[in-house]
Amino acid sequence: MNRSIILIGVGILLFGFILIAFPIAVTGQEQFDIEQEAGIYFIPPALAVLLVGSISEDPRTTTVAGTLGNPDLKVGRTSPARPTTPAARGLGYNPRESANCRYCYSMIPFDLARCPRCARARECRTCHRPLGSVLDRATCPTCARPEALCNCRVLPARPPATVARSRRA
C-alpha cells in the first residue's frame, strides 16, 4: 500500500465532498448547482486513485531499479546454501554424427552397428565396447540401450588399431 498515493486520493475525495456540501453550507440552498455536479464528477477519479494507491508497492521498501525489492537492502538467502555438485557431463559426441571404423577408417553412419567395409562391429562411443544390433538399431551390449542412451561407465578412449601394432612378431 502506497500511502502517498492514497493521501492524494483522499484529498481528491474530500475536495469532491466539499464541492457537494458547499452550496448547502454557504448559501443554505438545497438546489442542485454546478458545484455539486463537479463534486459528483470528482468522486470516481478519487476512488480510482485510492484503488491504485492501495495496490501499488511502497517506494520505501520497493523500487523500480530493485525490481520488487530494495536494492539498498542486503537480504541474503533464507535457506542454507546447497553444496555445489559437479555439472552433469553430457554426451561428448553428437548421437547422429557418423563414426570412423577403428580398423579401416571408413565412415560408419550412426544407425549401423557394423562397418559396411570390413563388417566389424563399431564401438560404442560411451563405453567403447563393440555394438550389437537390436531391431536394426545400434545397441550397447552391456546395458541393452541405444548408443545415445548408453548408461555404462565411461571408459577412456582407446587409440585406433594400426596395422603395425597388429603384426607384432
Any residues with CB less than 8 A from the CB of 31 and at least 6 apart, and which? 23
pTM, 2 dp: 0.39
In the predicted structure, residue 37 carries a pLDDT above the cut 60: yes
Helix (H) or strand (E) holding 137: strand 137-139
How far CA 124 is from CA of 3, 52, 71, 128, 149, in Å, comes to 68, 64, 53, 5, 11
pLDDT for 133-164, tens place per residue?
Answer: 888 778 888 888 888 787 877 766 666 665 55
Contact 5, 56 (CB under 8 A): yes
How far CA 67 is from CA of 3, 51, 55, in Å, comes to 20, 22, 16
Report how far residue 3's alpha carbon sits from residue 53's, in angstroms, rounded to the nearest whole number.
7
- In 3-state terms, what secondary structure has residue 34? helix
pLDDT for 79-103, tens place per residue?
Answer: 555 666 665 566 667 778 888 888 8
Give the total residue count for the chain. Answer: 169
